[in-house]
Each structure stands twice: as structure tokens, then as C-alpha cells.
Structure 1
Amino acid sequence: MSFLASGRGRILRVLPSVRQRPPPQGSYAACFRRCKVHFSLDEVENAAEGADEPQRQPVSLAKSLAFLTEESVVADQRQRKPLSRMERKRLAELRIKKRVKAQYLNGKFHDLMVNVVASTDTLEDAYDIVRLNSNVDLASARDDVCFAALAEQLRGGEFDVRANVYAVIAKRREGGRLVLPRLNLRIIQEAVRLVLEVVYRPHFSKISHGCRSGRGYQSALRFISNEIGLPDWCFTIPMYKEVDTNVFSKIISLIHEKIIDDQLVAFMQNMFDAEVINLVFGGFPKGHGLPQEGVLSPILMNIYLGCFDHELFRICMRHEGLGSEATDVSDNQESNLRRWFRSQLKDREENSDGQTDRLLKTRLYACRYMDEIFVAVVGSRDAAEGIKSEMVAYLRKSLYLEVDDRLYLMPVRRNSQGLQFAGMMVRVTTKESAALKAVHKLKEKVRLFASQKQEIWDAMNLRLGKKWLAYGLKRVKESEIKSLGLSTPLLDHISQFRKEGMKTDHWFKTLLKVWMQDINAKNEANENVLLSKYIAEPALPQDLKDAFNNFQKQAKDYISSETAATEALLSSLKNKESIITRIDGVVIKIHAPVSYIQKCLNRYGLINLEGFPKHVSALVLQDDELIISWFAGITQRWMRWFSEVDNFEEIQIMLVECVRKSCIRTLSAKYRMYEKITEKRFELDNYGIPMVEDFEAMMAPLESSSLVCTDEALLYGISSSGVFVLTLSRVRVPARQFNCFIMGCQSASPSMYVLHVKEKQRFPGWRTGFSSSIHGSLHGRRVGLCTQHVKDLYLGHISLQSVDFGVLIR
């Protein structure tokens, strides 16, 4: 439409006479002659008016129309917005894809190392992707990398892998030695990863999720909650294996099936020998952007476990493919091939003990997120056990992986605890009717109203108790002033407890100690209970206390009666088999691990053991914007990861009650201000830390941001990275200036930071918003970062894979 519009305007400018009068009457020849006369008159008038201007050669109508496309392209480029970070990555990937496709011949790819990877253009594109992963502007200063010399070394096989890595030594219990690549090797690894991604992406299975374009974390959870329905049995397959010679040889053989390139295989073998390929099955949580995971880990893992995906289809064919269609499908609609398989099976096992009938009812569902496998089976327990045994046998014998012996089948309808998968909890619950939801909602409102009144009652009693305490101390101090003559029987009675030389404060504390021993205060929780229960409440009017206690008693009776009635109703429904077996009454739900998230909040210092928010002391010395960005990073991760879970309301409450209040108290501790003043001074809503009522407004721009993207292949480690703790380093460093340790960044590093490892989860790990597992050798390591990249690390725009930890080792 833009071309037609621009073309129409150009034609009207060229033919002014045609625009001003109706079409001429008569033959086409007469029409042409009249138009030609007008053209000549216009040219004469233009020549007369522009006599003083330099002469230009006349442009024909054909050439004018030919230039319309170029003008429209230039106009579109002027109006087009600058390319986003993700769009630039896709353009670089598309350019490499064209070079890889050019090497396709007779069903295989040939000489990719020499013609694609060892190309100056490919290495520059890979370097741009490395910089984009580091959130560095491509127009800024570049590293001193000679791509022509690097390409020549790769083509000649002279590139030394061991010279381009550095090792971080740790204790054995902390994970042993960690080998990380330098910038040159990182660029080559990125180029190899893109090449392998182009070759193997069309061959990945549909059940494979994680670090793939269009099939990431959210798609895996949607498949489980929406596509599976209600299975009879569920189980996960935990595997544990660090890549060894057998596993790597299997990977090389799989690469030979699609690629004929001895030089590429030799280069990957060199990386394996140099321990720079950090591929661990069931080790560190995949996709969290940790430096020990390596750049090639996701694509190699998907290539290796792709064999399991295809084997799973064969297992599905043996169990489900031979079964019947749905009960409402007639025989005419069934596949002839499937009917032939059934007839063969019936003829072969005609005298079996109902094995055919069991197979006819079997359905198999599977979802793999990197190295986590979730399997759901509809059918008998024997069929589920057979499927599980076949999967475990293939993983052990063909893929040389170690599978946990504690693998068990979970009966879905009789187990509400659920299974852990992809950092979430998969549970099966019954649907609640509208009336039941209304009852729960009203009951929660009554409970909330009663608890609010109880909090107000306790706060007022505590205030009265504190006033009594202050008044008593004041009266004791006044009794020392003899000129006032304050000698009363009460003061004379308590003065006998005062010893000679005892100061007033010490005397008053002694009185309180005697009083607390008399009331046996050890049985109470804290001093607030003492002041409100033993001081303020006995002094209140009796009718006021009776009215409040009566209100609380009626609220508790209502809540307990509704709870008992609801439980009785649910138990009666569970006793009916027709309700249990209906798929419409039972659904699969995905829940965030709230209890484990609370433990992480306590571990990182946001809440205390009692669950109340507090300030994070490690962040007090940092800039205000960095402090807020640290908390905003938690908020954005939770909103991005947990927006579709079924207990998102609990996450919202934790965001406001824990994260937001902890941020306010951290800033208040830094400036020693009241929390209300801090909240007014720092408008946290503008930084992405909203209140509960503002969540809907915050979700819309977050969903449209460049980070919320389904292309996890290009966002590996970024979309799933967790926040960690950085503290300002007070240790003296060598007297040389450091640039930012982020790969591709040439900005100066004004500060040194220390990385703190707070936890080390075992596989499989939970999604909590924090870094679940960082190599122990990185604990206490100093890194130089510019302010922008500290903020990017906190907000999750980049991951730890972009940090060059070897700068101080050189």
C-alpha cells in the first residue's frame, strides 16, 4: 500500500493536466496526442522558470516509476524504529544461517568449520551476539580482536584452545576446578553454537523444550497444564552424569550423522580435552546463566537427548499407537495402518492374559525441559511400569546416563503433593464450583476483618502499656527530688527495694524484674504481650472487653463452621467414584514453590526467621539506583516466571509484603529516615516495584519487552538468570586501571565488587528468583563492573556468563 500511495503521488506530480481535467474523449491516439502536447508545454514553462538554474537532463516516466521502490524503502527506513536487541541477534543468526545452508549437499552439511565458522563475517557476527548478550551498544568501542588472524588460525588448525582458557581452582567439596573461556574462544564457541543450532533445529522433537526458539520454559508448563488432561500415573526421570569419553563419543557420532567436517570434530575434541565443555546432566540447573554451564551446553544437551525423544516416540507407538481411538470414533474413521497393527497384535497374543486390552487403553504424554523429563501415563499400573522400565533402560544402556534408583510412580488421583518439574510443583486438584469459591471468599474476608481488628486491639493495648511504663519511670525519678515532697504510701512501699548507691534506672529495672517473677513472664512470647495482657487489658472497662471478645468468638465460630461444612462437602464428593473419574472435575495446576522462596528470602536477608521484612545490609553502601534495581530484578523475574501459575496471588502478596518493604527499609537504613518518608521520596512504582493493585498495569509493558521472548535459544542464560549479592570491595587491588569485566564493554570500572554465593541447590532445583547454584570457586571473587552493568545484572538483562572472571588472573 505504501508503494501504491507513493507511486500515485508521483504520477499525479508528473501529469498535472490529467489531474486537473476529465479524461479526453475520442480515440486512444487522440488522447495520447493531447497528453503529449501538455507534456511539451509543461517542459517549456519549466525551462523558462528555471533558466537561472543548472540544466538537468529530463527523466522519463519509466525511470521515475522505477525509482519509486527505492524512495519507499528510504522513507520506511527513516520512519522505522531502531532495531531492538533481539532483532539484531536474529539478523546475525539469519546471516549465519544462509552461510550454513550454502554448505548443504546430498543430505548433509560439509566443511562448516572452514567455510562458515572460520569466516571473518561469521566471527564478527558471533562477536556482535556476545556484545548483545552483554547489553553493549554495537556502535561503542570494540575489543582489540583481529578477526582475519583468528579465522586464519582456525582454517589452518593452529588455534590453541588451552592458551585461550583460564582455570579457577576450588576445594573439592566446592566443585573442583572450573575452566572458563577467554574472549577469542568465547567468540568461536558462539559461532559453533549458532552453526549447530541451524543444523539441528529442524530435527528436534516436539516434546523437547528449553533453550529453543518457540519452545521454552513457559511452553513446557502450558503443555503440562493444558494438553495432558488427567493421567493415571506421573513420574519424573532424574539423571546424573558428567560428560565423559563415552558420552562425548556419542555426541560426536550424532554430529557425524548430519555434518561431514573432520576439522570441526577435531576442534570440539580439543575443547573437550581442555575441559572447556562443561556439560553435566542433572548437575547445575540448566538455563540459569551460570558461568560453569558453558555456551555449548544447551545445544549439545538437546542434540544428545534428542535420541531419547525419538526413542520415546517408538515407545509411544508400541503402547499408544496400537491402541484404539476415542470411544466416540467409528471404525471407518480409524487409520488402516493402526487397524492392521491391532489385528497383528491380536493374532499374536490371542491367548494372552488381557495384555491387548490393557494396551488398547494406554496413553502416553511426555515433556522434556533440558535434562528434566516429565512423563504422564493413562492406563494401568503395569503399563506405566513397563514404560518407565523401557525409558530407564534406554538412558542407561544407550546414552550411558545414571538414573536415580528412587524413581517411583505417583498415583495422580490419590496424591495431592505433586511432582517437581522445571522448578515448579505440578499438582492435581479438584475444580471448585462457583458457590464453593464464594464461600471461601466470604470466609477469608471474615477472617481478614477479624485479624485486622485483633491487630488494632493489640496495638492500642501495647501503646497503653508503654505509656504506663514511661509514667512509672517518671514517678520513680520524681521521688528522688526531696524538695517536691512526693512521699506517698506507694512510693514508701517500693523504696524498700532500693539498696544504697543504686541508681534510679537500676532500681526501676529491679522492680520490673521482681514484678515479672511474680507473674511468671517466662511463659509469654515477648515483652509486648506482658504490657498489653497484664497492664493495659485489666485496666480497660469490662463491658468493652466483653464486647470485643464476643465479636472475636462469633467470627471464629463462623469460620470453623464454614470450614467444617466445606470439608464435609468435599469429602462426600471424593467418596463418589463418578466425580473422581470425571476429567472435568479434576485438573492439573502449576504452583510456584512458595515455601522454598521464603527460605531464599531469609537466606538473602530480606526477611527474618519470623517472616518479617528487614533491610539487606549488603546493599546499604551501594547507590540508590542500584539498590532499587536489585529489588526490581526480583520483582520482574517473579512477574515474568510466575505470571501464569495458579498461586500467583501468593506471589503478589510476597512481592509487596517482603520485597517492597525490604527495599523501603534498606533505603531507610541507609539514610536513617522513617519508612513513610522513604516511600514518598523514592517512588518505587516507577522502578517496577508495584503495589498489589498496580500489578495489571505493570504486566502489560513487561510482556511487550524484548526480554519476554520465546526464543530461548538466543536468550540462553538471560531469561532464566537469578539475582545474587554483590558487595563493594574494600580490598586493595593493583595500581592499574581496570575496564569493566563484562565481555565487549570498554567502559572504565569505578568500583570493585565481591560475588557472594548464598546457596547451592541440588538437582533438580527450584525457581526462586535467586541464583540457585553458582560454582563454589566463584565465592568471594572480585570483579570490576561499571554502574550500568551492575544494574543490568541486578535486573536480569545480562547473566554471569557475560563476566570475564579471568581478568585478574592474567
Structure 2
Amino acid sequence: MVLESIYDDRFVTFCYGGRVNMGRHTAIRYLKNSVENPSWWFTVCLNTAKFENKHVDRLCRVMEEKISDEALIGLIKVLFESEIMSIQLGGCCLGRGFPQECGLSSILINIYFNSFDKEIQELRLKTSRENPRVDPNDLAEGYQRNAFYKPLKIYAVRYLDEILVITSGTKMMTLDLKSRLVQILEKDMEFSIDKVKTVIHSATSEKIEFLGMELQAVKPSILHPPMSQKAIRARKKYLRQKEVRALELRNAKESNRKKLGMKIFSHVFKKMKRANGFKTDFQIESEVNQIFDSWAEEVMQDFLESVDDRWEWHRMLSAGDFLSLKRIRDQLPLELVDAYDNFQEQVGRYLNPIKAKRMLEEQVKIAEEEEERKYSDQTVADLTKLCIKVEAPLEIVKKAVKLIGFTNHMGRPRPISLLMVLEDADIIKWYAGIGRRWLDFFCCCHNFRKLKIIVSYHLRFSCILTLAEKHESSKKEAIRHYTKDLKVSDVDGVEEIYFPTEREVKMMGDNDLIDPNPVDGSLGMTLIRLASDEPSYCCAAHFCDRRDTIVYRIRLLQNPLNLDSFDQSKWVPGMGAIHENLNKRCIPLCSDHISELYLGRLTLQDTDYASLLHVD
């Protein structure tokens, strides 16, 4: 927290990771909302290597420029020398909550890369000064609507050791920029760059992977497509059905009002006939007036909306009247003539169908002009503007689902035998933790709906099949007992739901700007409760002093599957793995933190490694 309070205000705006409210989703929001007309982009890929002594020395020199505390600098050196803290660059370990990553790594990486970020910021400012924005008001009158100016821009995003650079310029300018940044990283920062992966790509024709997601420049109409003809017909059908239901409801209300009015008049008539007057213990005039006023307003509103009814009444009240003849008017009293003229004026004012028809035509014309304007604006935007589409790598997700064993070779859900030793609630929590992490991580993606299907179908039914096989029952019996929402009862008999329900999954979207951990840690690990009389230990979670703990054995799923996380041909690309040294190690946890660990809200990085046990 000391380092964060000192350096956080000194970091550039495109530095993400290890900072408050500056996580993955904030970076993705910046890419989607701020980047305009990208033409070329590239990611700077570091070769997998440890943070060596030369990097530690340079880090300490950078920190000494702002911090005059030799004890703190010496402590950081000791942490690296004793290998209590280690940073693995260029791999799949940073920012994923793995135990091999120290919680202090993020802020130290940001401090180390700060000079590199400042260099990129200077290049961005220099490019902006050389290519200023053109105000449309400064253009000649004939060019204001037909000119589209695309200034040269440089965009950058860095999340820990992942670097993305985007330009809206030429390919040669992007090549020069890439060469300059690679030179800074190799000479000044003393990093080894993977030249094969650090290449520029066309933003429009090639996808690029960043932060575990796929990016591509597309037209605005692809992100917000217009309604199809089928959708338009369905919407018109829905509006017609809505009008019919409203008409039926209005007719039913009118019938009820007539019945109620007849009852009121019949009751009043009987009272008036039997007694001299109508007496009540309370005043009802205001209530009756209010009811009849509301009825009158609704009736008049419905009447005035109908042009045909207004035409008929206007014809009946204004045509063929003998009082409009001059020789008749001269023989009548002036008061009667004035009253008739006033009446005709009110008839023309409220019942004239020509004015009503003209107003309806104007409304239709305005709606058509608005639709044409929207269509023209969308067409111009498609021709002159490019946006960034962010998608979840569905093929990688499907490979991970198949690799762990959620589905068989045909892509259908299957049970996982390794989980049958767990309690029912723990099995559901394990599946729920993976499902919620995937949903939270990819909620900002354009194809989020397809990922919902994977979670709501493959994971849900794999969990149901695992529970069914554990209890030696059928899938229908498991669904009848747990329901599709996977409800489970606790010790007190209260039903709880851990797995996201179908309705909850359907309503999920891009709402929260969070920095969720990827699913890697939860996907490749399970905790099995030991049936032994071990002495009570303190809970291994940080800042937890509870001693009513249970010992669990850590089982990594890649070991029973005989998979090597470094073999990219068999392993899922871009997915990290917990270090094999933790396999079959034991950890004491209280009931609250084991539940949090299963649900993915807690990671092994939030536990004390000194509390790990060796139990045969």
C-alpha cells in the first residue's frame, strides 16, 4: 500500500493491472469506446524468463529516485535473492491468482515499466501535436458535410507484461514504431523479445489476442446491426397484438362501467322513490365527480383519436343547418346567432377532421424523416468509421471444456469421476466457481451469448451427471432432486443456490467494470477433504484466526490426465496452470474460506504457503 500510494498518480493512463479500478474490463472499455479507425496493431511478446538480478538492480535504482528508504529497498532485494518473491515474465502466470505469483509483483512490474510507458506517452503526444484535429467549422462551407478527416493516432494498453499498440496510420509508420519500442525493451529494459510473435497485423482483416480475448476492427453496423426483416415483422405482429389486447381491455372496462353505472342509477332511483331524497352518512359527491371526470376524459381521448368518428360528427353538426342561411339569421335574436356561431367555432376547433388528418400526416412524415436520417448516419458511419469488436475465444474455451472432461468426444456433457469423493454442495460449488468466473471474465465480449450456452448447458448438465453417477441414479432423478438450478440444502435444511440459474445467466451482461481472475486456477484444481483425525490447525487464509478447520488435499487435474502445461499441442493455448509442487499438498481451511475457494472468490494466492502440510 505504501508503494501504491506513492506511484499510482505517477503511472500513465493506459497502465492497467495491479491498480484500483484499473483492471481488465476497464482496459477493454477503453479499447471499445476510445479507439477510432485502427489500421494496424501489434502485441509485444516477451520470451518466458525470470525477473533476474539485473532487473532487480534496475528496479531498485528506479525506486531510489522517488523513495529514500534504504531499508525498504534492501528488503525488496532480499525477497528476490532468497526467492521468496519471484516474477515470471512472458508466461501465463501474472494476474491470474496463482500461488507462484506474489501479490507484490503487480506494483513492482508497473514501477519497472513506468519509464517505458512514459516513452510511449511522449510518442503519442508528439503524434497528436503533428496531426491535430480539424474543426468542421473551420472548413469551407462546401466541404463541411462531405469531408471526413482521420487524424493519425497512436493508442496503447499495457496490462502488467502484456502490451498492445494500435495505430491509425500507415504500415511503415507502425513498423518504425514497433522497432523503436522493441529496441527500448531490449537495450534499456534488458528484456528478451519474441520476434516471431511480435509482428504487426491488419486491424480489419486479422484478429489479435489480448488479455485472453480476441480483438478485430469492424464497422459500427456489425456491433449494432439493424433489425432484420424477420425481426421487423415479429415486432409489428407484437404491436398489433398489443393494440388488440388494449382494445379488449378498454371494451371490458367500458362494459364494467356501464354495469356499474346502471347499478348506481338503479340504487339511487329506488332510494329516491322510497324516501324523500337521498341521504347518506358521508359525502360522496367528490368521489362520484372524480369517477365520472376520469370516465369522460378517457372517452373523449378515445373519441378524438379516431379521425372517422370526428369526421362523422363534424358532418352532422356543421352541414345542412338552416341557421347558416342569411335570411334566417336576420330574423333571429342576436344572442341566438352568437351562440350558434360560437358553437360552430368549437365544432371546427375540436372536431375538424382536416386538421387532425394533417397532424397525423405530419407525425408520419417526421417519423419517416427520422428513420431516413438514422439510415444515412449509419451508412456514413460504416463508410468512414471503424470500431473494435471484442470476442471470447470460443474455440479455446471449448478445448478447455473438453480437456478437463466436461464433455465427451462428441461434445455432449459427461460426469467427472474425480469429483465424486466430494460432498454434493462442494461439487456444485466447484462447477459454480468455474461457471461464474467464465461469465464474469467474458461478460464484456460481443459473443457473450454463446459463452452463456456453454456454461448453462455443458457445465450445468455435467454437474447433474456427476451427482447422478455419485448416487447411482439417473439424470431425471438427479434433476428431480436438485432441479435444473442445482439447489442443495445445508445442515439446517435451508435450500441454497450456488450455480447461476438459467434466468440469472440470461440477464447477465456488460455491467460491472471489475478485474476478474481467469478461470485457470479453478479449472485445474480441486480440494478433497481428508478423512483423518488430524489436530486442528489455524486457517491458511490470510487474516483468518479460526481453528475449527478441516484439512483438504490439493489435487491438480492435469496430473491424472497426464498433461504437461508446457506442451502447447496438448494444453489449452493461453491457459496457465498451478505449479506441480502443490499437487497432493494439504491445506487447512475453515468452512467459510473453503466455500469461497470453491466458488472462485478466493485463490491460493490469498493463502499462507507456510500453512501447507505434508500428510501421507
Q: Deviations over 1:333-363 (max 9, x none)?
A: xxxxxxxxxxxxxxxxxxxxxxxxxxx9531
Say which of 167, 171, 190 aligns to 1:400. 190
Closer, same or farther: CA 434–425 of 1 in aligned 2, 3 Å: closer
Q: Deviations over 1:446-499 (max 9, x none)?
A: xxxxxxxxxxxxxxxxxxxxxxxxxxxxxxxxxxxxxxxxxxxxxxxxxxxxxx
Closer, same or farther: CA 801–239 of 1 in aligned 2, 3 Å: same
Q: Give the aligned residue type for 2:17.
A: G
* Structure 2 residue aligned with 1:203: 10
Q: Deviations over 1:271-307 (max 9, x none)?
A: 1210122122212332111111112100000111111
Closer, same or farther: CA 771–619 of 1 in aligned 2, 3 Å: farther
- 1:371-450 map, 5 Å: 371-406=161-196, 407-415=198-206, 418-430=207-219, 431-432=221-222, 438=228
TM-score by length of 2: 0.65
- Give the 3-state SS of the residue equivalent to 1:788 in structure 2: helix
- Give the 3-state SS of the residue equivalent to 2:422 in structure 1: coil
Matched, 1:695 2:509: no
Q: Deviations over 1:607-652 (max 9, x none)?
A: 1122110111111121111111111112211221222210011011
Contact 1:207 1:368 in 2 (8 A): yes
Q: Give the aligned residue type for 2:541.
A: I
* Structure 1 residue aligned with 2:468: 668
Deviation at 1:719, TM superposition (A): 9.9
Matched, 1:369 2:159: yes
Closer, same or farther: CA 390–213 of 1 in aligned 2, 3 Å: same
Closer, same or farther: CA 709–645 of 1 in aligned 2, 3 Å: closer
Q: Give the aligned residue type for 2:596.
A: D
Deviation at 1:381, TM superposition (A): 1.1
Q: Distance in 2 between matches of 1:435 and 1:219?
A: 24
Say which of 608, 612, 630 aligns to 2:430. 630
Give the aligned length: 439
* Structure 2 residue aligned with 1:277: 85
Closer, same or farther: CA 363–763 of 1 in aligned 2, 3 Å: farther
Q: Give the aligned residue type for 2:76.
A: M
Deviation at 1:413, TM superposition (A): 2.6
Q: Distance in 2 between matches of 1:770 and 1:805?
A: 26
Closer, same or farther: CA 763–646 of 1 in aligned 2, 3 Å: farther
Deviation at 1:600, TM superposition (A): 1.2
Deviation at 1:246, TM superposition (A): 1.6
Closer, same or farther: CA 246–202 of 1 in aligned 2, 3 Å: same
Q: Distance in 2 between matches of 1:587 and 1:709?
A: 20
Closer, same or farther: CA 680–734 of 1 in aligned 2, 3 Å: closer
Deviation at 1:432, TM superposition (A): 4.2
Q: Distance in 2 between matches of 1:676 and 1:689?
A: 18
Matched, 1:287 2:91: no
The structure with the greater share of residues assigned to helix is 1
- Give the 3-state SS of the residue equivalent to 2:469 in structure 1: helix
- Give the 3-state SS of the residue equivalent to 2:228 in structure 1: helix
Closer, same or farther: CA 315–668 of 1 in aligned 2, 3 Å: same
Contact 2:157 2:163 in 1 (8 A): yes
Matched, 1:788 2:595: no
Deviation at 1:757, TM superposition (A): 4.7
Q: Distance in 2 between matches of 1:295 and 1:433?
A: 37
Closer, same or farther: CA 428–798 of 1 in aligned 2, 3 Å: same
Q: Distance in 1 between matches of 2:136 and 2:575?
A: 50
Closer, same or farther: CA 628–809 of 1 in aligned 2, 3 Å: closer
Q: Distance in 1 between matches of 2:202 and 2:538?
A: 57
- Give the 3-state SS of the residue equivalent to 1:747 in structure 2: coil
Q: Distance in 2 between matches of 1:769 and 1:413?
A: 23
- Give the 3-state SS of the residue equivalent to 1:656 in structure 2: helix
Deviation at 1:325, TM superposition (A): 2.1
Deviation at 1:259, TM superposition (A): 0.8
- Give the 3-state SS of the residue equivalent to 1:752 in structure 2: strand
Matched, 1:587 2:387: yes
Q: Distance in 2 between matches of 1:699 and 1:784?
A: 36
Q: Deviations over 1:375-423 (max 9, x none)?
A: 11111111111111111111111111111111211112333xx111001
Closer, same or farther: CA 440–264 of 1 in aligned 2, 3 Å: farther
Contact 1:723 1:771 in 2 (8 A): no
Contact 1:690 1:698 in 2 (8 A): no
- Output the aligned Cα RMSD: 3.5
Deviation at 1:328, TM superposition (A): 2.8
Q: Distance in 2 between matches of 1:782 and 1:680?
A: 36
- Give the 3-state SS of the residue equivalent to 1:654 in structure 2: helix
Contact 2:26 2:513 in 1 (8 A): no
Q: Deviations over 1:203-251 (max 9, x none)?
A: 1110111121121110111111221022110111111342112211111
Say which of 598, 601, 606 aligns to 1:797. 601
Deviation at 1:579, TM superposition (A): 8.3
Say which of 11, 20, 30 aligns to 1:213. 20
Q: Give the aligned residue type for 1:412.
A: A
Q: Distance in 2 between matches of 1:283 and 1:718?
A: 14
* Structure 2 residue aligned with 1:641: 441
Q: Deviations over 1:716-771 (max 9, x none)?
A: x69996444325367x989644444334343333343232152665799xx99997
Deviation at 1:773, TM superposition (A): 2.0
Q: Identity over the aligned pairs, expressed in percent?
A: 24
Closer, same or farther: CA 387–650 of 1 in aligned 2, 3 Å: same
- 1:319-398 map, 5 Å: 319-326=127-134, 328=136, 330=138, 361-398=151-188
- Give the 3-state SS of the residue equivalent to 1:806 in structure 2: helix
Contact 2:399 2:572 in 1 (8 A): no
- 1:714-733 map, 5 Å: 722-728=522-528
Deviation at 1:676, TM superposition (A): 2.5
* Structure 2 residue aligned with 1:596: 396
* Structure 1 residue aligned with 2:480: 680
Q: Distance in 1 between matches of 2:574 and 2:54?
A: 34
Q: Deviations over 1:296-326 (max 9, x none)?
A: 1000001111111101012223433222323
* Structure 1 residue aligned with 2:412: 612
Q: Distance in 2 between matches of 1:782 and 1:770?
A: 28
- 1:536-555 map, 5 Å: none
Contact 1:753 1:785 in 2 (8 A): no
Q: Which moved more, 1:365-374 or 1:721-730?
A: 721-730
Q: Which moved more, 1:721-730 or 1:593-602?
A: 721-730
Contact 1:619 1:727 in 2 (8 A): no
* Structure 2 residue aligned with 1:235: 42
Runs (5+) with no aligned partner, structure 1:
1-193, 332-359, 443-577
Deviation at 1:787, TM superposition (A): 3.7
* Structure 2 residue aligned with 1:742: 541
Contact 2:422 2:529 in 1 (8 A): no
- Give the 3-state SS of the residue equivalent to 1:239 in structure 2: coil
Q: Distance in 2 between matches of 1:433 and 1:296?
A: 38
* Structure 2 residue aligned with 1:80: none
Q: Distance in 1 between matches of 2:63 and 2:88?
A: 19
Runs (5+) with no aligned partner, structure 2:
140-149, 233-378, 487-495
Closer, same or farther: CA 216–720 of 1 in aligned 2, 3 Å: farther
TM-score by length of 1: 0.50
Say which of 242, 253, 258 aligns to 2:61. 253
- 1:476-555 map, 5 Å: none
Q: Distance in 2 between matches of 1:435 and 1:737?
A: 60
Closer, same or farther: CA 680–720 of 1 in aligned 2, 3 Å: same
Closer, same or farther: CA 388–435 of 1 in aligned 2, 3 Å: closer
